[in-house]
């Protein structure tokens, strides 16, 4: 049996019991026990009896103890597969010990357009006046799924004038008047920024934003950091360089900084980064 289940786990506001119940509902499993640990045992036994099961835990912001929930995650006694998604790479790879960690890359143009149409409706392709504007809107999203789905939802069934206004705002990098964009996209970025550990890494993120959108050379970034005394008077040059590389990696793990388009796989002091 294949079961796909997705759940917003923002700070686990609804608790372990709620998460257990959601999974049990998919399995048509009544959970009679009131104690969470006993419910976890009951749920785990049932999952181990099933065939192939896929559980997707989406938008995770804090560590989830899978065993506490009742999701078998250790050993080979189950065919249960678990997919975890989060903006915090370290949360998945380090805190939760995910076996395989990989970033979700930006969508290629064809997939971005297909995703956008599916969200906003087929009318964007059927309307000859709207279609070229919609294509340009998708291009401004640059393949970022959260931007595509948020903007597509906000513009669904809107007039051509509203679409044109949205395109102008996206091109000016100030989509503050597009319905729902501020609430969903900016709050997501704000959460990621707020939960950065240390003032230095926050200062580096703000510095990258001041330097502008696009590729930023490591050398230029290093010069600004030294000039702004971001390294607290570290004497050895190598130590300061290592510090900057570490801060950059933290931003990348948080999804706030990406490798340059020139190289999406490696980073060192001779390569660029992009915000």
Read off the pLDDT of residues 156-174 as tens digits, 9 standing for 90 and up. Answer: 888 899 899 888 877 776 5
Residue 132, pLDDT score:
93
Tokens read off for 40:
């976890």
Q: Residue with structure tokens 């290093």? A: 222
User: Beta partners for 259?
Assistant: 273
Residue 97, pLDDT score:
84
CA distance 201 to 216: 16
Handedness of CA 166, 170, 174, 176 (dihedral sign): positive
Residues with Cβ within 8 Å of 161's Cβ and at least 6 positions away in sequence, in order, are none
pLDDT at 19 over 80: yes
Three-state DSSP at 178 gives: coil
Tokens read off for 140:
């401004």
Handedness of CA 104, 98, 6, 16 (dihedral sign): negative
Residue 23, pLDDT score:
86
- Closest listed residue to residue 87, CA positions, set 178, 192, 10, 172: 192
Read off the pLDDT of residues 38-69 as tens digits, 9 standing for 90 and up. Answer: 888 888 888 888 777 888 887 787 888 888 88
- Closest listed residue to residue 205, CA positions, set 267, 144, 256: 256
Residues with Cβ within 8 Å of 263's Cβ and at least 6 positions away in sequence, in order, are 271
CA distance 145 to 104: 9
Residue 2, pLDDT score:
43
Residues with Cβ within 8 Å of 20's Cβ and at least 6 positions away in sequence, in order, are 31, 36, 39, 40, 43, 69, 70
pLDDT at 76 over 60: no
pLDDT at 184 over 60: no
Three-state DSSP at 15 gives: helix
Taking the model in full, what pTM does it have? 0.53
Q: How confident is the model at residue 135 (pLDDT cuts 50, 70, 90)?
A: very high
Which of 155-187 are b and which e, b meaning 16 or more Cβ less than 10 Å from the residue's Cβ?
beeeeeeebebbbebbeeeebeebeebeeebee
Is 1 buried (19+), middle (13-18) or exposed (0-12) by CB count in 10 A? exposed
């Amino acid at each position: 049996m294949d079961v796909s289940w997705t759940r917003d786990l923002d700070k686990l506001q609804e608790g372990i019991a709620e998460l257990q119940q959601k999974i049990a509902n998919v399995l048509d499993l009544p959970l009679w026990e009131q104690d969470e640990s006993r419910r976890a045992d009951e749920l785990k036994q049932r999952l181990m009896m099933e065939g192939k099961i896929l559980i997707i835990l989406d938008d995770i912001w804090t560590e989830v103890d899978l065993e506490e929930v009742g999701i078998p995650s250790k050993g080979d006694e189950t065919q249960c597969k678990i997919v975890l998604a989060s903006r915090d790479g370290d949360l998945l790879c380090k805190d939760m010990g995910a076996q395989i960690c990989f970033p979700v890359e930006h969508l290629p143009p064809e997939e971005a357009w297909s995703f956008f149409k599916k969200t906003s409706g087929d009318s964007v392709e059927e309307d000859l006046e709207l279609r070229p504007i919609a294509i340009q809107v998708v291009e401004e999203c640059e393949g970022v799924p959260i931007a595509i789905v948020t903007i597509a939802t906000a513009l669904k069934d809107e007039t051509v004038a509203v679409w044109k206004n949205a395109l102008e705002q996206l091109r000016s990098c100030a989509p503050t008047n597009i319905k729902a964009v501020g609430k969903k996209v900016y709050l997501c970025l704000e959460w990621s920024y707020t939960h950065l550990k240390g003032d230095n890494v926050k200062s580096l993120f703000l510095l990258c934003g001041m330097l502008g959108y696009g590729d930023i050379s490591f050398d230029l970034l290093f010069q600004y950091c030294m000039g702004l005394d971001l390294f607290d008077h570290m004497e050895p040059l190598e130590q300061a360089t290592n510090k900057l590389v570490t801060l950059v990696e933290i931003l990348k793990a948080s999804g706030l900084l990406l490798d340059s388009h020139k190289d999406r796989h490696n980073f060192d002091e001779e390569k660029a980064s992009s915000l």
